[in-house]
Amino acid sequence: MSVTTEDPVSSGFKWDHFKTVTDPKQLSRATTFLESVSWPALEDVASRIRGGISCKLTADIGLGYNHMVRDIQFADGTHLVARLRLPRFSDNGLYPDSNAVDIAMRSEICTLHAIAEHTDIVVPQVYASDTSADGEVGAPYVLMNRLEGNSGLDLGLEIPLQYENDLFSEMARIHVRLSCIRLPRIGIVIDINEDGTYQQGAIPGIGGPFDTAAEYYTAWSKNVSFGLEEERLRQASGKFAEEVVASTALFKKSIADLADKISTPTNNRGPFPLIHGDFGHHNILVDDDYRVKGVIDFEYAFAGPWEIAASFPKNLFSMPRVADAPWNYDADGNAIPQDLVQTLMYQKNYIKAVEMEESRFGKDCILSTAMLDPERQQLGEALGSFREGVAGFYGNLTEECSSLWKKGSQTTGSTRIGVLEEVTFSTSMVSVRVRPRSNP
């Protein structure tokens, strides 16, 4: 087992999110969980896997939407990290669907193995796990090596100006490398065969595995629901409530109608790229100079359609213009809010960075080509925002796609951007605040 060494460009963990939580439900869940886990039992487990070397939990407590993270320090200076699964808000501290938790955790462990085996992306290495809430620790957990650095969530979701270019370029490199792990079907990774190949299983809440993207989109339309109750959607939509609700209600049927057209004939069948499922700098560890130290939280990873793989990182998300609030664009279709103008500029530069990385890596340009197909890319990204409950005129987007494709414009409607020698993300702003969303 490798010993974690301190990063000279890291001032230590900034796991302050738990201390600053203000949402009563989130705080109550985290506090109750902290009191319910048998932390001495966790220390005993950690000690056993290292041959009896004594260890203690440090005071650092990391908190995400689905997990609590604890740092474990051993007498010989080695560190491990324990990542414990939190119960869902609606389950009153229980884990009613233990099979779902087991599948999700095993899938993530297998996915981490695949990434470590086939790429140079730094990801956690798992040494022990228990997917049961009835074990000695009292919660599902994994024990992993400790990667240095802090996530964007720990750093207040801000990227200082001087680090933007390098960070986004490195994110593009990671994006490309992940897309080069390709599996024959659409689905999650559930096991590793003796010959080193991977078994695939159903995507939670959707199904599968699927042989074609069209099958996936059909299943998506039948099984996925909008991620916000209608009353809250109406409140969020103001005077456009009736139109937004009606547009949202039609989206799933429209996806079903377009299922065999969303992917191009070439991309409809596998192999399909590995998708992180919650990719953004909130799940990337960086040092004090924002140099990437690792990627975490592959809980929602799956092999999926290229249109979804072509989604921008969560911190670069924007609602497609035709589905966005009308006051965000002028009569000529130009973005008005400065933060939206900036995001759209970042998106263009991010695609160029992806192209540069594809050229450097010498694999192919399927990912950048998918990102440069605006209707399909936006539709694939909209599936995620719909599931997360982001308000928008979703019906406008499917209507536009349907109209274009009926006219025979089923190839990409954009010109490939040539590989540039330099990509610059910087603007005149001092920093960029980026807010991740939940899983797509």
Q: Which of 323, 315, 275, 272 is nearest to 299 (CA)?
A: 275
Which residues, including other chains, have CB under 8 Å from residue 384's CB and lie 6 or more apart? 308, 311, 437, 440
Query: Under DSSP, is residue 201 helix (H, G, I), strand (E, B) or coil?
Result: strand
Sign, Cα dihedral of 136, 138, 141, 147:
negative
Question: Using an 8 Å Cβ cutoff, are 370 and 358 in contact?
Answer: no
Neighbours of 73 (CB within 10 A): 18
Distance CA(79)–CA(67), nearest Å, equals 19
Distance CA(277)–CA(289), nearest Å, equals 26
Q: Which of 361, 387, 380 is nearest to 304 (CA)?
A: 380
Query: Under DSSP, is residue 129 helix (H, G, I), strand (E, B) or coil?
Result: strand
pLDDT recorded at residue 128:
96
pLDDT recorded at residue 270:
94
Phi-psi region of 238 (alpha: psi -120 to 50; beta: other; left: phi over 0): left
Distances (CA, A) of 238 to 223, 233, 242, 244: 28, 9, 9, 9
pLDDT recorded at residue 22:
76
**pTM of the full predicted structure?**
0.88
The architecture CATH gives domain 158-433: Alpha-Beta Complex (3.90)
Q: What does the pLDDT profile of the chain (440 residues) look like in tens digits? A: 544 544 545 557 777 667 777 788 888 889 999 999 999 999 999 999 999 999 999 998 888 888 999 999 999 999 999 999 998 876 565 666 788 899 999 999 999 999 999 999 999 999 999 999 999 999 999 999 999 998 888 887 788 889 998 999 999 999 999 999 999 999 999 999 999 899 999 999 999 999 999 999 999 999 999 999 999 999 999 999 999 999 999 999 999 999 999 999 999 999 999 999 999 999 999 999 999 999 999 999 999 999 999 999 999 999 999 999 999 999 999 999 999 999 999 999 999 999 999 999 988 999 999 999 999 999 999 999 999 999 999 999 999 999 999 877 544 444 333 333 344 444 333 333 333 433 33
pLDDT recorded at residue 418:
34
Question: Using an 8 Å Cβ cutoff, are 274 and 248 in contact?
Answer: no
Say if domain 17-148 classifies as CATH 3.30.200.20: yes
pLDDT recorded at residue 94:
61
Distance CA(383)–CA(387), nearest Å, equals 6
Domain boundaries, the chain: 17-148, 158-433
Distance CA(120)–CA(18), nearest Å, equals 31
pLDDT recorded at residue 92:
62
Beta bridge partners of 431: 160
Which residues, including other chains, have CB under 8 Å from residue 343's CB and lie 6 or more apart? 316, 317, 318
pLDDT recorded at residue 93:
58
